[in-house]
Amino acid sequence: MNKPEECQRFETCGAPLCPLDQESLENGIFYASEEVCTRQGLKLLWLRNQRKIARKTKDPDIGFFTINMIDRRIKISKAIKGIDPDRPDEEKLLLNRWFRLHPDRPKKVLTKEQLEKMQRGLQAYKANKGGTGAVKIGQYTKESVPK
């Protein structure tokens, strides 16, 4: 499947950025109030970030985002802002500023020891689940985990 027309949701989809439409990915922009692609099974970083922005932001006037802005490991909070559409003459300057304020975060890599410790803690938790004993995970016990 390489064309948007081949997608089963093509007729009803209103997403401005489509994973199957190369032109929308090259030239498209996204506002937080706009629809997001609902295809299942797509593990695209930009699509996940787009969904987070749409879910976390309540203000429809936060500006627009391009694929280059959201196809990165960035922190997305309810305070995130895009590019102001009322300043098209300054778009390049605003994009450069946005990238400086939202650096690409490195992928978190666990060491073998950290991974084994997490697996042991999970196994102990599963083994003791429903029992009366406390399971220590990190600094908390099963009974003392803050809510």
Q: Identify the pLDDT of residue 144.
A: 47
**pTM summary value:** 0.68
Domain boundaries, the chain: 4-101, 112-144
> How distant, in Å, are the alpha carbons of 17, 18, 54, 80, 101 from that of 27?
9, 11, 20, 21, 22
Q: Which residue has the tokens 């989809």?
A: 13
pLDDT by residue for the chain (147 residues), tens digit each? Answer: 567 777 878 788 888 888 888 888 888 899 998 999 888 778 899 999 999 999 998 787 899 999 999 999 999 988 899 999 998 889 899 999 999 999 988 888 888 898 899 999 888 888 877 554 554 555 555 454 454
Residues in contact with 19: Cβ distance below 8 Å, sequence separation at least 6, in sequence order: 25, 37, 39, 42, 44, 47
Q: How confident is the model over 77-107, as pLDDT tens digits?
A: 888 999 999 988 898 999 999 999 999 888 8
Q: Are 77 and 49 in contact (CB under 8 A)?
A: no
Instruction: Give the other-Cβ count within 10 Å of 116's Cβ.
Output: 11
Cα–Cα distance, 54 to 51 (Å, whole number): 5
The pLDDT of residue 137 is 53
Residues with Cβ < 8 Å from 36, sequence gap 6 or more?
15, 47, 50, 51, 54
pLDDT of 106: 85
Q: Which two tokens stand for residue 119?
A: 């697996």
How far CA 142 is from CA of 115, 116, 125, 129, 136, in Å, comes to 20, 19, 8, 9, 6
Q: How confident is the model at residue 60, as a pLDDT?
A: 75
